[in-house]
Amino acid sequence: MSFLTLFIIIPALTVIGILLCKKHMQVKWTAVVGMGLQLILAIGLIFLFLAERRSGNMDEILFIQDNVWYQTLNIHFFIGVDGVSVAMIGLTALVVFAGIFASWDIADLPREFFTSLILLASGVFGFFISLDLFTMFLFYELAVIPMYLLIGIWGSGPRHYSAMKLTLMLMGGSALILLGILGLYFNSAPDGGPLTFDLIQISKIQIPVDAQLFFFPLLFVGFGVLGALFPFHTWSPDGHASAPTAVSMLHAGVLMKLGGYGCYRVAVFLLPEAAHQLGWIFLILATIGVIYGALGAVWQKDLKYINAYSSVSHCALVLFAILIFNETAMNGAIMQMISHGIMTALFFALIGMIYGRTHTRYINEMGGLMKVMPFLAVAYVIAGLASLGLPGFSGFVAEMTIFVGAFQKIGTFYRVATIIAASSIVVTAVYILRVVGILLLGKITNPEYETITDAKWYDKISVVALIFGITLIGLAPLWLSDMITGGLGPIMQKLLAVAPILN
Amino acid sequence: MFEGVPLTWFLITGTIMFFIGIYGFLVRKNLITILMSTELILNSVNINFVAFNKILYPDHLEGMFFTIFIIAVAAAEASVAIAIIINIYRRLVNIDVEKMNEMKY
Amino acid sequence: MIDFSYTALILLIPLVIFVLSGLFGNRFKPLVSGIIGTAGLFVIWVLSLVTAYQYFFLTEKAADGTFQELLAVNIRWLTFSDKLHIDMGVLLDPISIMMLLVVTTVSFMVHIYSIGYMHGEKGFMRFFSFLSLFSFSMLGLVVATNIFQMYIFWELVGVSSYLLIGFYYTRDSAVAASKKAFIVTRFADLGFLVGILILSYTTGTFDFITLTGDESPAFTSGQGIWFMGLSTMTWSMIFVFIGGAGKSAMFPLHIWLPDAMEGPTPVSALIHAATMVVAGVYLVARLFPIYTTTAPVALDVVMYVGAFSSVFAAIIACTQYDIKRVLAYSTMSQIGMMMFALGVSGDGGHEGLGFMASMFHLFTHAFFKSLLFLAAGAIIHAVHTNVMNEMGGLRKYLPITHATFLIACLSISGIPPLSGFFSKDEILAAGYEKSLLLYWVEMIVSGLTAFYMFRLYYSIFWGKATQYHHTPHEAPKTMTVTLIILAVITLLAGFIPFSHFVSSDRIPFAAHLDLSIALPAVLVGLTGFFVATLFYRKETTIPGQIFNFLGGFSRAAYHKFYIDEFYLFVTKKIIFNYISRPIAWFDRHIVDGAMNGLSYVTNEASFRIRRFQSGQLQQYALVFVSGAIFLTLFFLYLWTH
């Protein structure tokens, strides 16, 4: 048995532990211990993985475990990791850990809240480690459904509307994914023999091009909905605006990455011919998304909306990079997912903390917060600078990898798309600095704010953990980029087999 | 006793009773009348059973048994139904079936 | 062979100081953090002096007398692909060492000065940690071994400039200015980035040594026509220059520089006069072999933009009243001259005179301009205003400031034997060889420079004796010391035989003073000086009359030719209202409306359907019976046929 199973067992045990707790404090500390262990485990996984690779173990997938759990349909509990999923697991563990601390203040029904939150997290972990399409889908649903409760019960504003909208749109997406997965399943044995959901096995065979052309759009759009593909992104602003802090963090930080990861791991990896033929359509959508999200953010007045649109822009960049189909850009896409995950989680955490103190999210109603809450304000500036791609933070590394990679792709179409996408860095600077200027700098506009307090210890843990993440990647990106590149071999092989002059 | 009466006659009688019952069930508003209509439907079935049994398989008794069985069940059902109707009447002072639409959308 | 790997310390020390004071600064007393920062700067100043000495005098040159390019440190930072990777390192060659000296010296002076100037300010500690961040970034930019490292530090100097301009963050004008500076340069950086992308794609490398070496792939690939009749390489160099123009405040990307004066004065001296703003010149100089060899059109762009900016800024400078803004426009004008000098230069030997002149002017300008700013700081410190109309007769109160300011004014006006004379003379000489017209343009700029500098000088130190609230007094020792040191450097720097160290092909050559060029230049400078004396020494009405005589033109110059208004119009009116707002609307109403419409249709359908569930028992029974009958008949039909 592989120790990866622990990534599901620990959250499960934590949930049981939380359900047994009686007091608020016990609930929180159980959650902290559970997710702390998870974080340690994730860091351990990174080190173990790197050690295995250094010792010359070049298997495509490491730490494999394979159990059959439904013989009739040949469904397996098949788990294992490569460089990409290790990175994603690290991201998830960090964001969940920070999220627990960011929701320290939760007052009503804390037990139920943390249960749903950790349930969601376990879904995400399960998604990233599983290599069986059906199991993967199962975990995907497990991650999406608690979201409804979390927003509907603990949210703010028009929470029922947002929760319903978000869940319905994501469910629509998963319906497409299910169709796509079934399509893969029934095409998984073209020469006869048992059908399989096994991702690795499917990747080794040639799926008929007709089937690919039919199922690729289903899968890509299905995952793309979660990855905020234009024009299926509208759940994101409303959902984020209504969600409680930790949920926004997890959702933007991790759940949206399920979309990007799915596009990468399932849609493009398993259906390369179709990806090659149809990729340009989605590339146009992604390019629109990049610039559209950024420009949309400029006009917003609600902090969460600004950040939601910024997420749309950044996540569209992930899809953009995936669709370039070369190794550098693909690497950049994965790094962008990680970078954006931590960065946006930091943003939402800070917005939640600011909102908890000022009770408004409208930037025009605030001002001069730097004076009264220097810690949060400085953290917000750091998050902002990271988001606009300043060197030294993770965003720069990811974006530059994407742009350099994308520009290597031959063809005026791709060049123009790259330059349009790259111009988003200017727009990003505009809306970030606009917020920083209005919100944090200047004089204190509302005398009531003179008395509000700065971050508490638990806020600080959450913020510092995330800032540590972005600066670590920003200052020393080489290990991460090498780890990811190591995992890109199989997909690049498949793509190169389709069109030899991709690079 | 029934010698010479063809089976068809029984069946026609049964069918007429059955549809009278159906008609009553669908049209009458009074719950008691509806209950009586159900009895009519059941009895039409009974007639068919008995007739088939007597004329087609005179050596067998299954049709008779079934009829007696249905009569017993109908009696029980009638008592339960009347109990329900009395309860409804106590609550609503009314036994009009159209007023009883609590379960609509 | 000398091991230069210690030069890594030049980058590491300020970085460590920044991180430490950023994290633990609150625990120290303010003064301690200032002293730590200054001490750190002193160490790296000494280190760079040692580096310069070892490099220029102790390192062997190549066989043909070329100064070598040394990779002191080079560490892999990020891999893009087999060919493309970003390294972090230290590249030593004559221009990077020259810049090292400039940056560390000015930065060190500014540190000392700031201890006095910022004394008692609230964010003293923050100020010094930002200064360290800036020093780190600027030094990293200067010693970059590859263009991507340069881009990284380029962004970092941008952000430290942003932080320092917005240092007084409770002041709205400072916040707006910092935002403007960042966004305008960011826009230019996009050009730089695109330039890098094109360059790296065509040549397959980021590395400076490869790019500018004799065998450079930039000389062979990307020569074909690509777009609008220019080759790929030309376009890439033009894009790179856009980045440089943004940082160096060249027209039309200059609008942020005057506003940047909202920052504390030492910052203006360090960042917006001596170091960061010349990064654009340095960038072009770095890639100079590519410009001359394969992208002469791009070099012409550099020349025209530089020449235009210099005259444009000089005219505006004559009309401004805020002393820091006058200096800012003067900086822009001087940088325009440097760009112009690069633009007229050829490669190698005497052909490369312009290159040498540009670097020389960069060198001398850094000192006298930072001196001007620091002296201006001392004046503002004494009278608490920026506006020259509210000053006058200060020479009695501020003797040291007065003397040093005068030296700097003479230097920038090109009066021998001060440093500015030598470097400006080389620029004019180089310009003369290339284009007579532009030579005369630069001559006029030279005269205008002398005019507006002495206008400034007389308005501050002479003229009517203004009544001050409290008697102005000379600045504290930490400030005056730096003024004196910089004045001494300004006096002496001109005698450095610069062409023996810096040249376009790194081979030393001898540059001579050409009297036929020098004499008219000096005369023009003196004319400017005399006109200013005539107008401003005593209060006269002549300037006002001339201002009115020129009418619209002078009003336009006073309003900086309405460039700011134009940008505001484009950003606020067009981009905000006509792009961003419709997109927000589109998103809410069209895209989201479609999604909501979908759910509305579903809702409506189910609302219609639910009417079947009427609650009428008999209705259900009817449906049931008719269904049963229908099915019976249907199956009967099927059975019989």
Contacts of C611 in chain B (CB under 8 A): 105
pLDDT, residue B2, reads: 60
Among candidate residues C246, C250, C342, the one with its CA nearest the CA of residue C295: C342
Q: Hey, is the C-beta of A101 within 8 angstroms of any chain C C-beta?
A: no
**Which range of residues forms the domain containing residue A158?**
3-502
DSSP B102: T
Question: Nearest CA of chain C to the CA of A295: how many Å?
Answer: 5
pLDDT, residue A503, reads: 43
The torsion angle over the Cα atoms of residues A369, A374, A378 and A383, rounded to 10 degrees, is: -60
| pLDDT tens per residue across span A450-498 | 777 777 888 888 888 899 989 998 888 888 888 888 888 888 888 887 7
| pLDDT tens per residue across span A220-272 | 999 988 888 888 888 888 888 888 888 888 888 888 888 889 888 888 888 88
CB contact under 8 A, C615 and B100: yes
Q: Work out the angle between the directed axes of helices A83-102 and A110-129 (0-180°, nearest 10).
A: 170
Question: Nearest CA of chain C to the CA of B28: how many Å?
Answer: 9
C627 has a pLDDT exceeding 90:
yes
**More confident call, A151 vs C548:** A151
> Which of B23, B25, B26 would you mutate first to test chain C, the one with the most C CBs within 10 A?
B26
Question: Nearest CA of chain A to the CA of C599: how many Å?
Answer: 9
pLDDT, residue C469, reads: 67
Looking at chain A, which residue has its C-alpha nearest residue C571? A430
CB contact under 8 A, C611 and B105: yes
Tokens describing residue A394: 């993770």
Burial letters for C276-313: b for 16+ Cβ neighbours within 10 Å, e otherwise?
bbbbbbbbbbbbbbbbbbbbebbbebbbbbbbbbbbbb
C331 has a pLDDT exceeding 50:
yes
Examine chains A and C and say if they touch (3+ CB pairs below 8 A).
Answer: yes
Q: Where are the alpha helices (DSSP H) in C118-167?
A: 124-142, 147-165
B1 has a pLDDT exceeding 60:
no
Cβ atoms of A341 and A257 within 8 Å: the answer is yes
Mean per-residue pLDDT, C219-231: 72
Closest CB to C615: pick one of B22, B25, B104: B104
Question: Nearest CA of chain B to the CA of C616: how many Å?
Answer: 6
Residue-wise DSSP of A30-80 = HHHHHHHHHHHHHHHHHHHHHHHHHTT---SSEEEEEEEEETTTTEEEEEE
Mean per-residue pLDDT, C297-314: 89
Mean per-residue pLDDT over chain A, rounded: 86
Residues 464-483 of A with CB under 8 A from C: 477-478, 481-482
| pLDDT tens per residue across span A186-212 | 888 777 778 888 888 888 888 888 888
Rg for chain A (alpha carbons), in Å? 22
Q: Hey, is the C-beta of A404 within 8 angstroms of any chain C C-beta?
A: yes
Question: Nearest CA of chain C to the CA of B3: how many Å?
Answer: 32
CB contact under 8 A, B101 and C615: yes
CA A323 to chain centre: 17
pLDDT, residue A105, reads: 80
Question: Nearest CA of chain B to the CA of C590: how many Å?
Answer: 33
Contacts of C614 in chain B (CB under 8 A): 101, 104-105
Contacts of A238 in chain C (CB under 8 A): 592
CB contact under 8 A, C625 and B98: no
C606 has a pLDDT exceeding 70:
yes
Cβ atoms of C294 and C231 within 8 Å: the answer is yes
Chains B & C: contacts with CB separation below 8 Å: 29
Closest CB to A481: pick one of C78, C156, C187: C78
| pLDDT tens per residue across span A406-429 | 888 887 888 888 888 888 888 888
Among candidate residues A350, A204, A211, A183, the one with its CA nearest the CA of residue A277: A211
* Main-chain phi, psi angles of A455, to 5 degrees: -60, 145
Cβ atoms of A432 and A388 within 8 Å: the answer is yes
C574 has a pLDDT exceeding 90:
no
Neighbours of chain C (3+ CB pairs under 8 A): A, B
- Cα separation, A493 vs A491, in Å, equals 5
Question: Nearest CA of chain C to the CA of A73: how many Å?
Answer: 34
Domain B7-99 has CATH 3.40.190.10: no
CB contact under 8 A, C153 and A419: no
A20 has a pLDDT exceeding 90:
no
Contacts of A405 in chain C (CB under 8 A): 80-81
Domain count, chain A: 1
| pLDDT tens per residue across span B34-84 | 899 999 999 999 999 998 888 888 888 888 999 999 999 999 999 999 999
CB contact under 8 A, B22 and C625: yes
Contacts of A403 in chain C (CB under 8 A): 193, 197
**pLDDT level of residue B7 (50, 70, 90 thresholds):** confident
AA letter at B89? Y
Mean per-residue pLDDT, C77-100: 87
- Cα separation, C530 vs A174, in Å, equals 81
Question: Nearest CA of chain C to the CA of B95: how many Å?
Answer: 13
CB contact under 8 A, C169 and A434: no
Cβ atoms of A405 and A326 within 8 Å: the answer is yes
Q: Which residues are within 8 A (CB) of C402 and not within 5 positions of it... i.e. 6 or more apart?
A: C394, C395, C461
Mean per-residue pLDDT, C403-412: 88
Contacts of C610 in chain B (CB under 8 A): 105
Looking at chain C, which residue has its C-alpha nearest residue A389? C155
Q: Hey, is the C-beta of A277 within 8 angstroms of any chain C C-beta?
A: no
| pLDDT tens per residue across span A309-325 | 888 899 899 999 988 88
Closest CB to A437: pick one of C152, C155, C179: C179
Query: Is the reported ipTM for this assembly greater than 0.85?
Result: yes
Closest CB to A405: pick one of C80, C153, C576: C80
CB contact under 8 A, B102 and C610: no
Query: Rounded to two decimals, what is the model's pTM?
Result: 0.86
Contacts of A394 in chain C (CB under 8 A): none
Task: Provide the sign of the torsion angle of the four alpha carbons C383, C385, C387, C390, taken in this order.
Answer: negative
Lowest mean pLDDT among A64-73, A167-176, A304-313: A64-73
Contacts of C615 in chain B (CB under 8 A): 100-105
- Cα separation, A405 vs C325, in Å, equals 43
Chain position carrying tokens 């006096």: C491
User: Domains of chain B: which residue ranges?
Assistant: 7-99
Contacts of C19 in chain A (CB under 8 A): none
pLDDT, residue A302, reads: 85
Cβ atoms of A227 and A311 within 8 Å: the answer is no
Among candidate residues C577, C601, C600, C597, the one with its CA nearest the CA of residue C588: C597
A502 has a pLDDT exceeding 60:
no
Three-state DSSP at C91 gives strand
Q: How far apart are the first and last CA of chain A?
A: 39
pLDDT, residue C465, reads: 66
- Cα separation, A225 vs A218, in Å, equals 11
Lowest mean pLDDT among A29-33, A381-385, C561-565: C561-565
CA A237 to chain centre: 15
pLDDT, residue C460, reads: 82
pLDDT, residue C636, reads: 93
- Cα separation, A170 vs A145, in Å, equals 9
| pLDDT tens per residue across span C582-595 | 877 887 788 878 87
User: What burial class does residue C210 get, using C-beta atoms within 10 Å of its C-beta: 0-12 exposed, 13-18 middle, 19+ buried?
Assistant: middle
- Cα separation, C508 vs C196, in Å, equals 30
C215 has a pLDDT exceeding 60:
yes
Closest CB to C614: pick one of B25, B26, B104: B104
Tokens describing residue A454: 């700065």
- The neighbouring-strand residues paired with C91 are C71
CB contact under 8 A, C155 and A168: no
Examine chains A and B and say if they touch (3+ CB pairs below 8 A).
Answer: no
pLDDT, residue C466, reads: 66
Cβ atoms of B26 and C618 within 8 Å: the answer is yes
Q: Which residues are within 8 A (CB) of C261 and not within 5 positions of it... i.e. 6 or more apart?
A: C177, C268, C272, C322, C324, C325, C327, C328
Task: Provide the sign of the torsion angle of the four alpha carbons A449, A450, A452, A454, taken in this order.
Answer: positive
Q: Hey, is the C-beta of A489 within 8 angstroms of any chain C C-beta?
A: no
A1 has a pLDDT exceeding 70:
no
AA letter at A420? I
